[in-house]
């Protein structure tokens, strides 16, 4: 089992819409590092859903439903998407300010690599967030 974090601007695609649609293909990744991370996702892996720009907090958990395939929004063979399905909303969202203060979480790429929209995180980091959010998996 691997763990990841993806960012979305609520303006474009908020968690509430994701929950309503139940699942979505995660498109728009145009960065090699993020693309490579997408390609390493396996079915069943858990993915944290972060709201950037507005909200600035981790709001929910998604599950990888389908592994990577050609991005249907472009003919460019370099880019791909994965299917994510909404798994669980966090009982308490985890704000960036908390992440920055936390001994474990401050080392997530989220904090320093602002341009990265898809990133791997460790099991310890994932579990810490679940813990802090008082959510049951």
Which residues of this chain interact with DNA, rule CB under 7 A? 7, 9, 31-33, 52-53, 56, 96-97, 100, 112-115, 117
Nearer to DNA, 22 or 103 (CB): 103
CB of 72 to DNA, least distance (A): 20
CB of 2 to DNA, least distance (A): 20
Residue 44 and residue 100 in contact, taking contact as beta carbons nearer than 8 Å = no
Nearer to DNA, 31 or 74 (CB): 31
Helix (H, G, I), strand (E, B) or coil at 98: helix
CB of 56 to DNA, least distance (A): 5
Residue 58 and residue 90 in contact, taking contact as beta carbons nearer than 8 Å = yes
Name residue 86's beta-bridge partners.
Answer: 62
CB of 67 to DNA, least distance (A): 23
Nearer to DNA, 66 or 106 (CB): 106
Report DSSP letters for 5-65, one per residue: EEEE-TTTS-HHHHHHHSEEE------HHHHHHHHT--TT-EEEEEETTTT-EEEEEEEEE
Nearer to DNA, 17 or 42 (CB): 17
């Amino acid at each position: 089992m691997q763990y990841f974090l993806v960012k979305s601007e609520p303006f474009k695609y908020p968690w509430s819409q994701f929950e309503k649609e139940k699942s979505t293909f995660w498109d728009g990744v145009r960065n090699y590092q993020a693309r490579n991370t997408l390609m390493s996702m396996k079915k069943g892996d858990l993915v944290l859903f972060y709201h950037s720009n507005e909200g600035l907090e981790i709001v929910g958990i998604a599950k990888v439903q389908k592994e990577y395939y050609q991005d249907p929004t472009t003919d460019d063979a370099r880019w791909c998407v994965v299917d994510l399905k909404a798994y669980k909303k966090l009982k308490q969202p985890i704000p960036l300010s908390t992440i920055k203060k936390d001994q474990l979480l401050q080392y997530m790429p989220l904090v320093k690599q602002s341009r990265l929209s898809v990133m791997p995180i460790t099991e310890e980091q994932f579990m810490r967030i679940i813990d802090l959010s008082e959510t049951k998996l």
